[in-house]
A and B are shown apart, each in its own frame.
Chain A
Amino acid sequence: MQNQYTDWKQALRSGLLGGAITVLLSLIGIVTAFSNTYIVNKVISFGELLIVGPIAALSLVAIQKARARHPGLLILTAIISGLTSGLVILALAGLGQVINLRAMFLNASNDLYAIYAYKQALVPGLLLRLLVSGLVGALVAGFTLLPGRIKAAISQGLLYVILVGLMGRLIGTVLNTWGFVAILFKWMFVANSLSPIGAIFLFLLTGGLAYWRYGRPKTKQITDPKKQKLVRWGTLGGFGLLLIFLPNILGMWFSEILDNVGLFILMGLGLNIVVGFAGLLDLGYVAFYAIGAYTIGVLTSPELGFFNLTFWQAFPIALIMAFLAGVLLGLPILKMRGDYLAIVTLGFGEIIRILVLSDWLKPWLGGTQGIQRIQRPVVGIGEFSITLQSQQQLYYLILAGIVLVAFVAVRLRDSRLGRTWMALREDEDVAVAMGINHVATKLTAFAMGALFSGIGGTLFAAKIGSIYPSSFQFLVSINILSLIIVGGMGSIPGVFVGALALMGLPELMREFAEYRYLFYGAALVAMMLTKPEGLWPEARHRLEFHEEETPPPEESEAVPESA
């Protein structure tokens, strides 16, 4: 009996929590705001998902925590959890009828209650809501009792329907650039959301795929080295082709995002050397970005009219400037570690930003007005040359930059210098005791990082054609640092994944309008909780966070044989 008693309590607790989350989301205003943003047209809206989602999730928690194993009891537990959540929602609606909640919570409006009541009369509507909440619990319980294969199919199908439904508008813009191919998919979408038939089709397709793949080995092991090589080059080539045609596949709007992500990848690769490889926490990294961009601006803009160089003439000078700035910043801070280093570099970043903003340097750097009409890069010779202007054209320039920088980064990591950086990161004192010149090592790390950031800056200037001090806020440094952490410190592929997640995700989340950063923040917290070592961690770093997953030593703490 003890068991059932605690299960009861757990079900009630989960239900209350689920209801509380729904109420919270409602009071923030998201439920109302998205009540007409349909996932499946006229069937289920994102707002409705935000009501039902937490209830379903917490019912699942209640089932997982329940000690009872009898199916009937499990279903009962989930129903209780769901009903409790429903009661919480009803309580809010009821309270709203008695006293005016709007004085405090602007979003506790009659619109909200109408959504709760399925746009019906209040009393029967709310009772329906209660019924649905209990039903959701029952469905979740029923789901958990299904065999694994069907569970995988259903969850995968639902996931894709929700994702595609939410991204309906974005997918629409992409489809529009495809011309006749778009017609093949048109029937799946209605008014920026999935059509009911489209949803069913997608559910069956993705669910069926999951059902088919369940339990099968992931990929066939290819043992023949010749074939292995072929497969590797094939994937690489396919990936390369995809990258080359990506702007054409996705269209203008996505190309702009890709360009932004690309710039952050470039800078991330540079900061990864400083922070990830050498372990030097640099919070003023944006300074080198600014130096690269401003050098290009000053040297090429006819508005200032000092030099009027072309982009490619100014490019090497900008890189040298960034490199030298890296050395210059490196010199005074060699003796500093950890927090102190972070604060000094932060100061350096701010100094650069304030310098470019200052009236004092306005004749040279443009002050608040920035620098306009920066020369666009021209590629090709003579008659065959083109000026890279559109986002789609600049994409290739940025792509080339990334390929080059990533190649250098990989080579550096595997070099003797890379090892030295790592040793310095692990333990500076011991590294010195091994005969490593920590002065030179730290300086090269800083200078290489600065150089990469400088490249990012020049491309940024070329991309937007005009630069302002406001583009070089402290937040940029933080963003680059965050993408490294999200991707996995010291991991080169991690930089790519991190940049896509951190810079690409908010753009894709435009659907969520003013709630974008709320969802984005939630996604970040979830990411760091589930994968603290990063999305694509460096192999050796992974060990630190998941020691229990490493193969145990054959016999630890045994007496060495030399005894």
Chain B
Amino acid sequence: MALLEVNNIHTYYGNIHALKGVALRVEEGEIVCLIGGNGAGKTTTLRTISGALRPRDGHIVFRGEDLAKYKPHQIVEKGIAMVPEGRRIFARMTVMENLEMGAYIRKDKQKIAEDLEWVFELLPRLKERRRQVGGTLSGGEQQMLATARALMTRPRLLLMDEPSMGLAPVLVEAIFDTIVKINKEGTTILLVEQNALMALSVANRGYVLETGTIVMEDTGEALKKNPRVQKAYLGME
């Protein structure tokens, strides 16, 4: 049984049919990436999974359970965490407070403290900055913080929306290194990226989304070599 199964979901913004039957699956321990152009529906797919949007049709099954009956904050408790696009951290709270908000749903103080250590080990930069207000961090540090905050919910599945957006190339590499590291430590990741080359390099499998439907599915390496993908998303002729 797959960790997450998205069956034929249709999501609308008012009358606009944004997702026209998206189907995908994420296995335990994988990094799966979702690539596609602007307006293809990548973010919409993630938001539908996290419960921020409701599909009008279709099912999202997480660990054998249909998520339709859960509210967004309950879905977090089920084990799905989201790193939103554009590093939306709580700008007026300190790094520490941001991380504490991440652990909001959890009660086990002992485990929270352990995870805090783990997150700091993963992203040592944040430890140095832990008393600093979030808004004063640099772009890369803010992305790290958003990721760490999501990790503090101890998710089984981490949804990441455009983690590389607006970052300098050297920071993009750092972010992807972190993604691989998180995955190796046992968190499954569903990644949405404009930077298709980077995303496909780290992903086990990938899906190509075009105008609200999945048009291709393959392993990351195979998609990287696929001429159609190369032409449309990797800027190669």
Which residues from chain A sit less than 8 Å from chain B, CB to CB?
Answer: 419-420, 422-423, 426-427, 429-438, 540-541, 543-544, 547, 550, 553, 556-563
Contact = CB atoms under 8 A, between A and B. Distances in A.
A435 B105 contact: yes
B153 A560 contact: no
A394 B87 CA distance: 52
Contacts of A543: 92, 133, 135-136
A507 B26 CA distance: 68
B84 A429 contact: yes
A422 B93 contact: yes
Contacts of B82: 433
A146 B73 CA distance: 65
Interface string B141-165: 1001000011001000000000000
Contacts of B140: 557, 559-560
B91 interface: yes
Interface in B121-135: 122-125, 129, 132-133, 135
21 contacts: A423-B101, A426-B92, A429-B88, A430-B84, A430-B88, A432-B72, A432-B73, A433-B52, A434-B149, A435-B105, A435-B153, A436-B73, A436-B104, A437-B73, A438-B73, A543-B92, A553-B136, A558-B138, A561-B124, A562-B178, A562-B181
A557 B76 CA distance: 32
Given A547-B136, A559-B174, A563-B174, A422 B71 contact: no
The interface centre, meaning the residue of A426, A430, A437, A543 with most chain B CB atoms within 10 A of its CB, is A430
Contacts of B73: 432, 435-438
Grouping DSSP codes into helix (H, G, I), strand (E, B) and loop, the B interface class, with mixed when no group exceeds half, is helix
The interface centre, meaning the residue of B73, B91, B122, B123 with most chain A CB atoms within 10 A of its CB, is B73
Contacts of A433: 50, 52, 72, 76, 81-82, 84, 150
B123 A560 contact: yes
Interface of B: 50, 52, 71-74, 76-77, 81-82, 84, 88-94, 97, 100-102, 104-105, 122-125, 129, 132-133, 135-141, 144, 149-150, 153, 168, 170-171, 173-174, 177-178, 181
A557 B125 contact: no
Contacts of B92: 422, 426, 540-541, 543-544
B170 A435 contact: no
Contact of A423 (B90, B94, B181): B90
A431 B133 CA distance: 17
A529 to B, nearest CB: 23
Nearest to B94: A540
Given A434-B153, A544-B92, A562 B136 contact: no
The interface centre, meaning the residue of A426, A429, A436, A550 with most chain B CB atoms within 10 A of its CB, is A426
Given A426-B91, A547-B136, A562-B124, A434 B104 contact: yes
B159 to A, nearest CB: 9
B138 A553 contact: yes
B170 A563 contact: yes
Contact of A562 (B97, B100, B125, B135): B125
Contacts of A435: 73-74, 76-77, 104-105, 153
A60 B137 CA distance: 41
A436 B73 CA distance: 6
A419 B153 contact: no
Nearest to B121: A562
Nearest to B170: A559
Nearest to A559: B170
Contacts of B102: 434
Contacts of B97: 419
A430 B90 contact: yes
B135 A427 contact: no
Given A423-B101, A432-B73, A562-B144, 11 more contacts: A429-B88, A432-B76, A433-B82, A434-B76, A435-B74, A553-B136, A556-B138, A559-B170, A559-B174, A562-B122, A563-B174
B136 A550 contact: yes
A553 B125 CA distance: 12
The interface centre, meaning the residue of B89, B100, B122, B136 with most chain A CB atoms within 10 A of its CB, is B136
A560 B145 CA distance: 12
Contacts of B144: 560, 562
Given A429-B52, A433-B84, A435-B153, A540 B133 contact: yes
Nearest to B141: A560
A419 B138 contact: no
Contacts of B149: 434
B106 to A, nearest CB: 9
Contact of B132 (A419, A427, A432, A553): A553
